[in-house]
Structure 1
C-alpha cells in the first residue's frame, strides 16, 4: 500500500517515480514550497479564480483549497505524467472542482500548436530549454495564456515554469488578472531575463508588492487605473 505523506494539511502519495528522495525529505520536514506556503495566504482569497502555470505535483493547488478555501483552480502542466499525479493528489485531498490541463502557456506573439518540452529526471528541472541534458523531448500543446485567462475568467496567476517567465508576458493580454505570483529562476534567465520579465509586467500595469514578495517568489499587483491616469497626468 502506498504511503501517504502530509505537509501543511495536504496529503501526497509517496510515488517514488515522482517523489524523489529530495522532495520526500522536504515534505517530511514541512519545507516543501515554503515560500508559497508563507506567501499565498497573504493575498489569495477564497473566491479567487487561479491559474497555476507549472503545477508540479499538485501541492500548491491542493494547499490553496485545503487551507484557503479556493475552489476555482486551473492547473497547467506540460508533463503528462505529472498531470495524472496532480489529479490523484486532488482526489486524495477532496478537491473535485480543480481542472488540470496538459499544455504550455504561450505569449500572444508565439504560434499556438505543438511545443517541444524537455523532460528531466528531476521534474522541476523540465522546461522548454533544451540546452542542458534531458531524458526525452515531447511535444506538448501550446495555448496562448490570454486564451486560458479568458476561458477560465481568471483573476490570479501563479507561475513556476523554470525560466519560461522571461518571455511569457510580452506580449500578452492580461485583462482580468489582478495578481501575478511569480517564481523567478535567476539561474536560467539571468539578470537580463529578470529585467525583461519585470518590464513586461510593468508595461501591463503591474507593480512589485514588497510586503508579500520573498526571495525568488515575487508578487505583482495590478495598479488601479485611476492611479495610472493620475501618474500620466
Structure 2
C-alpha cells in the first residue's frame, strides 16, 4: 500500500492516534495544544507502545503564531479563540500554532487527519493540498453550518481529493460526522469496500456559492 506520513491536528488523548499507528503508517506527527490532553496522549502512547508517533504541543492553523485557545467545560469542544461554539469557556490560554503548510513540508506529510472543533474550515481552505493524498476530517455542521461544510468538500474535490467514506452518518446532518476523502485510485478502492453514498450525495448537493441545496438529493426522496 501507500507509504503514509500523517499530520494530525487535534490528537486529544491519543486514542485515534493509536488507531492510526496500528494501521502501519510510516509516521504520525500529532498536534495537541491543550496541556491536559497533550500529557494524557503522551502517556497513552507510551504505555500502549505506539510506534512512529511524534507529539507536538501546538494547534494546527494557517500561520506560525501564538494565539488564544479556549478551554471549554466540555474539554473535547476546546478550540482556538474565534472558532464559534455554544460551549462555555472555562479558561483561555496562550498556545503555539503551527502553519499547516510548513508542517506538511517539514514532516513530509501526505495524509491529513483533522479534528479541531470547527477549525477544519480555515485549515483546509488555507492549505496547499498538492502533496496530500488522503484527508480524514471531522465535520461540524452544527458549528460551521452546512454550506461551509459543503464548501470544504468542494475545495477538496477541486484539488482531486474526492469524498469516499462517511462515519457516524446516523448523526447527519445535525451533529458531527467523519468524512474520508482520497485521490484516485484509492478513492475507488475505499468506495468499493462499502460506504453510505446516500449521505455523500446529500452533503455534496449544496450550492456552496449560494448557501442552498442545488437539487433534490436521494435522502430527501
Q: Common fold, TM-score beyond 0.5?
A: yes
Aligned with residue 222 of structure 1, among 175, 183, 197? 183
Show the counterpart of 1:159: 114
Asked whether 1:79 is paired with 2:34, we answer: yes
Q: What do the CA deviations read for 1:39-62 (whole angstroms, capped 9, x no partner)?
A: xxxxxx684211111111101111
- Contact 1:46–1:71 (Cα < 8 Å) also in 2: no
Deviation at 1:223, TM superposition (A): 4.8
Show the counterpart of 2:166: 213
Deviation at 1:200, TM superposition (A): 2.2
- Contact 1:208–1:219 (Cα < 8 Å) also in 2: yes
Deviation at 1:97, TM superposition (A): 2.8
Q: What SS does structure 1 have at the residue aligned with 2:109?
A: coil
CA distance in 2, matches of 1:147, 1:120: 28
Show the counterpart of 1:62: 18
- Structure 1: state its 5+ residue gaps: 1-44, 225-233
Q: What SS does structure 2 have at the residue aligned with 1:69?
A: coil
Q: What do the CA deviations read for 1:105-144 (whole angstroms, capped 9, x no partner)?
A: 223xxx4211211001222111123654211111111221
- Contact 2:21–2:51 (Cα < 8 Å) also in 1: no
CA distance in 2, matches of 1:199, 1:79: 31
Q: What SS does structure 1 have at the residue aligned with 2:7?
A: strand
- Contact 2:130–2:159 (Cα < 8 Å) also in 1: no
Q: What SS does structure 1 have at the residue aligned with 2:152?
A: helix
Aligned with residue 139 of structure 2, among 156, 176, 184? 184
- Structure 2: state its 5+ residue gaps: 170-176, 186-221
TM-score by length of 1: 0.68
TM-score by length of 2: 0.72
How many residues align structurally? 174
Higher mean Cα deviation, 182-191 or 94-103? Answer: 94-103
- Contact 2:10–2:116 (Cα < 8 Å) also in 1: yes
- Contact 2:114–2:120 (Cα < 8 Å) also in 1: yes
Moved over 4 A (4+): none
Over 3 Å counting, the alpha-carbon distance change for 1:60 and 1:222 in structure 2 is: same
